[in-house]
Chain A
Amino acid sequence: KAGVTQTPRYLIKTRGQQVTLSCSPISGHRSVSWYQQTPGQGLQFLFEYFSETQRNKGNFPGRFSGRQFSNSRSEMNVSTLELGDSALYLCASIGASGGPSEQFFGPGTRLTVL
């Protein structure tokens, strides 16, 4: 099976712009989660989508939004970018086994805001 893929891998934006990141989960996985990783802060949970619905949400401002399509692919959007949004954005998917499971992570999108 192909792993979780994320595009683009690198992005450079300026303050005030908006950005859209894409994630394709492992085939058959219906849950997609997004995380922001910064040095010293670890992974901060943004939100999780399951069957096109946001099922869980972290403590990020409304500038951060997402959606999921019927094929389970997910997008994350950040509007009005700030310097502090510079980070590695990770996407992870989970299989629908019904029990506990680990998350499978993509390589991430490195966002730099100038």
Chain B
Amino acid sequence: AQSVSQHNHHVILSEAASLELGCNYSYGGTVNLFWYVQYPGQHLQLLLKYFSGDPLVKGIKGFEAEFIKSKFSFNLRKPSVQWSDTAEYFCAVTSKGSYIPTFGRGTSLIVHP
């Protein structure tokens, strides 16, 4: 069974700091990759996704992620965080032919103004 690891469980940053959240997965075949975000009191929503093509994908609100196949990684980045980025972030992976993603345990990000 595939698994998804998010190495940072809690991250605390000041506004304007750079962000990188790690995500590694265990599946060796073709994968689809996602980052979801859950703002306080809101529903889970898609931040960005990778299906194929350019391994550097850009999402909403200035977020981007890079798929590195050799490292089984899909790290999320943002050059300058804002207080409004305070949220929980989930990495998710589906294997080819599956509609059911495996989620990481999530990273809680707190950004101090």
Contact = CB atoms under 8 A, between A and B. Distances in A.
Contact of A100 (B45, B51, B105): B51
Interface in A30-58: 31, 33, 35, 40-43, 45, 48, 56
Contacts, number: 46
B94 interface: yes
B105 A42 contact: yes
Interface size of A as a range: 20 to 34
Interface residues of B, number: 21
Interface of A: 3-4, 31, 33, 35, 40-43, 45, 48, 56, 90, 92, 94, 99-103, 105-108
Given A35-B103, A45-B102, A48-B100, 18 more contacts: A31-B99, A33-B99, A40-B105, A43-B44, A43-B90, A43-B106, A45-B100, A45-B103, A48-B99, A56-B99, A94-B99, A99-B51, A100-B32, A102-B34, A103-B101, A105-B43, A106-B43, A107-B42
